[in-house]
């Protein structure tokens, strides 16, 4: 394969981002918090709906399946609309589906509403990233992606605990209804605060762009990177408790530390991607990620080394999202391509977690999870080596 230049490199950076980019990040915060709130409300949901805890856990997979299958379809259906209008409608649909979930009398309707939310959530990511890159302009797309994806990080670190606390105060139905209101307010904020002079995106041109081998090379890196990260992340709690010997009371603070590391790494990655280029940042981050995952597998029983590896995984891993987004945008910045990228990332998340689970079952060792992660991250690094930065 011949190497090609990565056009995301070394564009002159400017300071400051439009306020509208922050509004897009708030929209992603609303979507992400609603997506992961199930994890903090699992006991109440299982009890009230009369199902097993594992059935509630499947709601996360159902949402992810909706993201994989639906985002590109929704973006294509809305291709005739201006991007701001499409995003506002998608967020409004997400809010409506969330309200249906709050009112669902039983598990089947709740599961269906989660699938629809996955459709809308993936489209929201694709549209928000496309709009953000456009209004930020060349040289600031990495920072714009970091600001928008910061909504995802903060939704995980702050939104999930808040939703869990709300569940103890008003129950899961009240929490879901509140999250529907947040999503509706995000739709209104996008409609009122995001510039409306954007052109309609060209669905045919975006579909043609999907035939680019360089685009699929970038997708492959994202798939493997996120898969490797979540192979380990899915099993952080049992790894820390069973191998590292961390007391149960320390687990929440350590997960918060990991979450803080992802937030710091996300914004640092955005700035570095604009200054150095997305591809060099991906490569450097993947080297650290491979080493950190391997160290976690080898030294999980040594607390100081295990916790250092945990922080290093947080600073890279998911935090490399801005570089992944900027690399794809350099090839094509359309909402359709961004939505397909989101679907690929969701597939990587599910694949990494599943492969780690299979490896643990076959080896009967929790350390298999970070080894799977290290292998996938190494493949992600290899996928970047034939492209010039």
Clarify whether residues 26 and 59 are in a common domain.
yes
Choose between 161 and 113: higher pLDDT: 113
In this prediction, residues 166-183 reach a mean pLDDT of: 91
Q: Where does the pLDDT of residue 9 fall: very low under 50, low under 70, confident under 90, or very high at 90 and above?
A: very low
The pLDDT tens digits for 186-199 are: 999 999 888 765 55
Q: Is residue 8 part of a domain?
A: no
Quick one: pLDDT at residue 202?
55
pLDDT of 228 above 90: yes
Q: Which 8-state DSSP code applies to residue 200?
A: B
Asked if residue 316 is part of any domain, the answer here is yes
**Residue 168: which pLDDT band, with cuts at 50, 70 and 90?**
confident
What confidence tier does 310 reach under pLDDT thresholds 50, 70, 90? very high
- Output the CA angle 23-61-222, nearest 5 degrees: 60
**What total of structural domains would you count in the chain?**
2
Q: Identify the domain boundary among 141, 175, 201.
A: 201
What is the band of 236 on the pLDDT scale with cuts at 50, 70, 90? confident
Same domain, 135 and 211: no
Beta strand residue intervals within the chain, DSSP E: none
Please say if the pLDDT value at position 98 is more than 90: yes
Within-domain flag for 97: yes
DSSP code of residue 82: B
> Does 339 lie in the same domain as 260?
yes
Q: Model confidence at 8, in pLDDT bands (50, 70, 90)?
A: very low
Is 269 within a domain?
yes
Question: What CATH number has the domain bearing residue 75?
Answer: 1.20.1250.20
282, 221 contact by CB (below 8 A):
yes
Section 345-353 average pLDDT = 86
User: What's the number of CA atoms in the CB half-sphere (13 Å) around residue 353?
Assistant: 14
First to last CA, the chain: 15
- Is 106 in the same domain as 163? yes
Do 223 and 95 have their domain in common?
Answer: no
Please report whether residue 161 resides in a domain.
yes
| Coil, helix or strand at residue 384 | coil
Q: Do 196 and 289 have their domain in common?
A: no
Q: Is the dihedral of CA 184, 185, 188, 189 positive or negative?
A: negative
CB count within 10 Å of CB 105 equals 8
Percent of the chain scored above 70 by pLDDT? 92
Q: Which of 176, 201, 226 is the last residue of a domain?
A: 201
How far is the C-alpha of 89 from the C-alpha of 99, rounded, in Å? 15
Looking at the fold, whether 88 and 190 belong to one and the same domain comes out as yes
Confidence of residue 201 (pLDDT cuts 50, 70, 90): low
Residue 196, Cβ density class (10 Å: 0-12 exposed, 13-18 middle, ≥19 buried): exposed
Where in the sequence is the domain holding 274, given as residue range(s)?
204-382
pLDDT band at residue 204 under the 50/70/90 scheme: low
In a domain, 7, yes or no: no
Do 248 and 269 sit in the same domain of this protein?
Answer: yes
Question: Above 60 in pLDDT, residue 44?
Answer: yes
Mean pLDDT of 92-115: 95
Average pLDDT of the residues in 39-44? 78
Residue 182 lies in a domain: yes
135/264 same-domain check? no
Q: Which residues, 6 or more positions from 372, have their beta carbon under 8 angstroms from its beta carbon?
A: 228, 231, 232, 352, 355, 356, 359
In this structure, are 240 and 305 located in the same domain? Answer: yes
pLDDT value at position 117? 93
* Residue 298 and residue 347 in one domain: yes
Eight-state DSSP code of residue 159: I
Mean pLDDT across the chain: 84
- The percent of residues in the chain predicted with pLDDT above 90, rounded, is 33
| Cβ contact 66:119 at 8 Å | yes
pLDDT digits (tens, 9 = 90+) for 248-300: 788 778 878 888 898 899 889 888 988 888 899 999 999 999 999 999 999 88
Within-domain flag for 87: yes
Do 34 and 93 belong together in one domain?
yes
Following DSSP, what letter does each residue of 249-303 receive, concatenated?
GGHHHHHHHHHHHHHHHHHHHHHHHHHH-HHHHHHHHHHHHHHHHHHHHHSTTSH
Identify the domain boundary among 201, 236, 260: 201
């Amino acid at each position: 394969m011949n190497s090609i230049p990565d056009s995301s490199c070394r564009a002159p950076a400017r300071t400051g981002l439009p306020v509208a980019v922050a509004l897009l990040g708030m929209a992603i915060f609303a979507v992400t918090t609603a997506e992961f709130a199930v994890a903090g409300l699992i006991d109440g949901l299982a009890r009230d709906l009369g199902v097993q805890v594992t059935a509630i856990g499947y709601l996360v997979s159902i949402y992810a399946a909706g993201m994989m299958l639906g985002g590109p379809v929704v973006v294509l259906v809305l291709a005739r609309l201006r991007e701001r209008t499409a995003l506002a409608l998608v967020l409004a649909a997400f809010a409506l589906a969330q309200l249906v979930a709050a009112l669902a009398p039983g598990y089947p309707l709740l599961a269906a509403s989660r699938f629809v939310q996955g459709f809308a959530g993936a489209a929201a990511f694709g549209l928000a990233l496309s709009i953000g890159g456009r209004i930020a302009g060349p040289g600031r797309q990495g920072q714009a992606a970091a600001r928008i994806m910061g909504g995802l990080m903060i939704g995980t670190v702050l939104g999930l605990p808040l939703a869990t606390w709300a569940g103890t105060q008003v129950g899961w139905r009240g929490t879901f209804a509140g999250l529907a209101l947040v999503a509706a307010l995000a739709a209104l904020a996008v409609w009122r605060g995001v510039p409306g002079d954007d052109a309609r995106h060209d669905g045919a041109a975006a579909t043609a762009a999907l035939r680019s081998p360089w685009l699929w090379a970038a997708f492959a890196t994202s798939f493997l990177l996120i898969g490797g990260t979540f192979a380990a992340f899915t099993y952080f709690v049992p790894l820390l408790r069973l191998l590292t010997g961390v007391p149960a009371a320390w687990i929440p603070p350590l997960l918060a530390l990991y979450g803080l590391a992802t937030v710091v790494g996300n914004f640092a990655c955005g700035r570095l991607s604009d200054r150095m280029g997305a591809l060099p940042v991906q490569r450097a981050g993947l080297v650290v990620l491979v080493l950190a995952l391997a160290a976690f597998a080898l030294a999980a029983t040594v607390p100081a080394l295990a916790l250092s590896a945990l922080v290093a995984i947080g600073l890279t891993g998911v935090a490399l999202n801005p570089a992944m987004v900027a690399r794809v945008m350099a090839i094509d910045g359309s909402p359709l391509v961004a939505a397909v990228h989101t679907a690929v990332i969701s597939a990587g998340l599910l694949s990494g977690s599943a492969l780690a689970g299979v490896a643990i079952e076959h080896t009967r060792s929790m350390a298999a999870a970070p080894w799977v992660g290290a292998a996938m991250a190494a493949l992600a690094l290899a996928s970047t080596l034939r492209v010039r930065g």
